[in-house]
Copies of this chain bind each other. A is one copy, B any other.
Amino acid sequence: MADILSPPARVPRADALSKAAGAERYAFDDMPEGCLHAGAYRPGASMGMAHARIVAVDRQAALAVPGVLRVLTAADVPGQGRHGIVHKDQPVLCRERIRHAGDPVALVLAESPAALRAALAAMRAELAPLPGVFDPEAALKRGAPLVHPDRKDGNLLMHAVIKKGDARKELKAAPVSVRGEFFSPVQEHAFLETQCGVARQLPDGGLEMVLSTQSPFRDRFEIGAALGLDPLSIRIRAPHMGGGFGGKDGATVQCLLALAALYAGGRPVRMAWDREESMLAGFKRHAARLSCALGAQEDGTLTAFTCEMLYDTGAYAHLGGEVMELSMEHACGPYRVPSLRVEGRCVYTNNPIAGAFRGFGVVQASPAFEGLMDELAAKLGMDPLELRRKNALRSGDENGCGVRMGSAELPACLDALAAHPLWTGREQWRKEAPAFTRRGVGLAAVFNGMGYGRGLPDMAIAKVELTEEGGFLVYASVADMGQGNTSAFARLAAQELNQEAQAIGLVMPDTERCHPSGSSAAGRTTYTFGNALLRACAGLKAKLLARATMALMRDTLDGLALEAGKVVHKPTGASIALDALARFLPRDDRIAVGEFLMPVAREASATARGFLIGFPHLIFAYAAHLVRIEADELTGQVRVCDYVTVTDGGRVLSRQGFDQQAHGGAAQGLGLALFEDFLLDDGRILTGDLSTYLIPTALDLPDMESHAVEGCEESGPGGLKGVGEVGMSGPVPAVAAALRHALGGKPSTTALRLLRRPPFTPERVLRLLATKPRRTE
C-alpha cells in the first residue's frame, strides 16, 4: 500500500549517531570523580508489608559498614518533607508509616556502590503491620482502612462527572445498546535508563543537579517545597534520557538526591535506582475499571454513552486525578456522541503509586469504548469499520464533551484501513489458518488530546542564539525522553533559519540557560516548544537581516536573504558571513526568545465538574490501527503477524520521527495487550523484575507499517500535532477485536469477560479459546 502522504526526505535524527555509537551521555553516565552514592531503605518490600507503622529505624549496623557516611531519616529532612505535583502528600522519607511496599524510611550515603549495598542490607526497621486496602472498590467502603487518615474524604482522592444531555434517559430509549465492565491493568514504564541523577550543593547553598527527568523546571519547585529551599537556587540539567514515558514526570530521585546533597558537605552525590527499585518505587500506569454502556439507533448512529470509572492511584495522589480526567474526557472515543455521562472516582490504596504514562488515561479508556463499538457492530450486524466511519469525529464536529474539533482526519485514517488488503482480505486469511492456529484481524480507532488542557498554561519559551562563530544554538527547554524532539527542534531551526543541519547546535534543558517550557508530556513538546522555537528563529532571522543592513550599507531590507552561513544581498551578491556579523552584535542581540501559548477550547465547557485543571482539550491526534494475529490453540500464545497504523498527526515534519512514534506506541501498547502482567498480592509486587514482568522485545513483534494521512493543524509548527501518545491506545482494543474475530461468531459471556481484561497472556487466551473449543468454520 502506498503512503497516503508522500513522505518527507528521511533525514537521520540528530542524535542517531551518538546514540548508536554509545557516545551520548545520559544522566546515568554521570558519575563525577569522588562522588558519594545515595540509596533509599525501603523496608516494606523486604518485610512483605505495604501498610505499616514505623516503630523504629535502626541505623547502627548500617553506619558501622566501612565507607558509610550518613543514614538519614525523616527527622533529618528540612522543610515540609513532602512532595507531589498537585497534592503534596508523598513524604520524602516516611516518619510514622509506610503506605506502600516501596515507601522509603531512610537514606544512606556511602563512598561506594558496594558500601551502599552493604549498608542497605544492614539496615533494620521495626514495622507494625496495619490493615491495608488493595482494591479500589473496597477502599471506598465504610470502615475501610485509611491510607491517609487525616484526609476528610477518606480514601477518595477525586470524584468528578462529565455530563452532556441526559445520557441515562437516551440510553434507555436507544433501540440498541451494549454494556460491559472493562478492566485496564497496571503497567510498568520499564524505560532502559532507570531513575537516576547527581546532585551537589554549592558553597552558596544552592544545588546543582543532573537528572533523568521529564520536568526539570518543575522539579525545582518540587524539591524547594519539599525541603524548604529556594526553588530558584536549584539548577537542574536534563541530558538525553533513556526513556521516560511519563514515569519521570514528577519527583522520583529528585528530593532524595537533593536531601543527600544537603548532607554531603559539598561533594557530589549520585543516586541510580536498579531495575528492582525502579519497579518497586517508580510510578505505574493506573489500574482502572470502567463500567460503560453505549446506545445507538438501528442504523448505527450513536446516541448515548455512560461510564462509571474507578481509578486506583495507589498510596499517593501524584497525577491520579489528572489521569482519570483524561480517561473521562476520552471515554466515549473519537465519535459523535450526543449525550454522555461519565463519572469517575479515583481512590487511594496501599498499592504502588500510579502516575503519568504515555496515553495518560486514554489507554485505560480505549479498550472500553472500542470494545463496546465492536459489540455494538456485532449486535447491529454491521461491519465494525463501517460503524466507526459512520460515527467518527470530523473537523467541525462536537466531541463527547462538547468541544468543537479542529483538524480531525479520523475518517481518512479509517478509509485507509478500509482499503488496506489486510482488511479487505481478512476473512480469506482467517480461513487459511494453519492447524492448531486461529487467526483474527482487529482494528481500533483512537484519539488523544494534546497539551495540558484548560486551567494550566501550556507554554513554551524557546531561545536561539547566533554564536560568535556564526553557528546557531537552540536552547531546548523540554526534555528529550528519547522520542527525538530535540532532533525535531534542530530540524525546525535549520529550516526556519535556512541553514545546514550541522550549523545547528543544541543546548539540552538546563534551568540556568534555558527558559521554563513545561514538562515533556502530553504530546506537547514538539507542538508547543516547536512553535515557540519557530517564533524565536523568525525573530532571529529578522534581526540578522536588519543588522546586515548596517554591514552591507543597505537602507532597506529589500533583497536581503539569510543563507547558509551568511546574509546575502541578492541583487548585488554582496554578503556578510554570519561569524563576521556575530562579532558586531552584543550577546543580547545575538539571541532571540520566542514563546508560544497553546490555544485552548474557548467554549466554556459546562459539562464537567470536579476537575481541577486539564479539561477540556482543544486539539487531538487521531489514529486507526489494524492488527493480524495468530493464536496457538495448544499454548494460548498470540503472535502478532502484522500491525498497521494510520495516524492523523497533522503535517509530518520528519517522517522518521513520525514513524518511530507510531511504532514505539504500538509496541508499548502491544506489550500491554499481550505480555505485561503486573501482579500484586496485598500491595506486594510479584513481578518485580524483567524476568517476571515481560516486555516485548524486537523478536516478539513484527515489522510495522506506519502511514500518515494528510492533515494540517493550522496552529502547529509546520502544521503538525503531537503524535507521541495516540499510538499507545490502539493495540489493546485492536488485539481484543482480533481475538474476537479469531474466536468467531458470538462470544459467550465468559469470552466477553476475558476480552475485556488485558493483557491477553497465554493462560487467558487458552481460557478464551476454550469458550469455543472447536474451529467452527
Contact = CB atoms under 8 A, between A and B. Distances in A.
Interface of A: 232, 452, 454-459, 461, 463, 512-513, 515-516, 543, 546-547, 549-550, 553-557, 583-586, 588-589, 591, 593, 595, 597, 600, 613
A459 B549 contact: yes
18 contacts: A232-B584, A452-B555, A454-B555, A455-B553, A456-B555, A457-B553, A457-B556, A459-B549, A459-B550, A461-B589, A513-B586, A515-B585, A515-B588, A516-B584, A546-B595, A555-B600, A557-B597, A588-B591
A288 to B, nearest CB: 26
B588 A546 contact: no
A232 B600 contact: no
A455 B232 contact: no
Contacts of A584: 232, 516
A555 B232 contact: no
Contact of A459 (B546, B583, B593): B546
Contacts of A456: 553, 555
Contacts of A549: 457, 459, 597
Given A515-B585, A549-B597, 18 more contacts: A452-B555, A454-B555, A456-B553, A456-B555, A457-B549, A457-B554, A457-B555, A461-B547, A512-B586, A515-B588, A516-B584, A543-B593, A543-B595, A546-B595, A555-B600, A556-B600, A557-B597, A588-B588
Given A457-B549, A457-B550, A458-B555, A589 B593 contact: yes
A455 B550 CA distance: 10
A628 B744 CA distance: 111
Contacts of A556: 457, 597, 600
Nearest to A593: B589
A87 to B, nearest CB: 16
Contacts of A588: 463, 515, 588, 591, 593
Contacts of A553: 455-457, 613
A589 B536 CA distance: 12
Contacts of A613: 553
Closest 9 CB pairs of A and B: A457-B549, A457-B555, A555-B600, A546-B595, A515-B589, A454-B555, A457-B550, A455-B555, A589-B593
A78 B584 CA distance: 23
Contacts of A513: 586
A583 B586 CA distance: 23
A255 B566 CA distance: 32
A642 to B, nearest CB: 42
Contacts of A593: 543, 588-589
B583 A232 contact: yes
Contacts of A457: 549-550, 553-556
A584 B454 CA distance: 22
A591 B589 CA distance: 10
A608 to B, nearest CB: 15
A553 B458 CA distance: 10
A512 B455 CA distance: 43
A754 to B, nearest CB: 42
B459 A597 contact: no
B516 A550 contact: yes
Nearest to A543: B595
Contacts of A543: 593, 595
A597 B549 CA distance: 9
